[in-house]
Amino acid sequence: MSRNSIKYAPLKYCKVITENLKAIYQATTTGETLLTLEQSGDKLA
């Protein structure tokens, strides 16, 4: 699934995106997932 997520991303962001996706997929609760997703967006902005 991560391959499709980075398909159109610039190469310089691929590593950051895959690290963020890994953290999101490893979250155990919905709240933790949302928090990780929000933090991931802050890293890319």
What DSSP state is assigned to residue 29?
S
Q: Report pLDDT for 22.
A: 92
Q: Report pLDDT for 4.
A: 83
Enter the pTM of the model.
Answer: 0.72
Structure tokens at 26: 């490893």
Q: Report pLDDT for 1.
A: 63
CA distances from 19 to 12, 27, 31 (A): 13, 13, 19
Structure tokens at 29: 């609760």
Q: 1-45 pLDDT, tens per residue?
A: 667 878 888 999 889 988 999 999 999 999 999 999 999 888 777
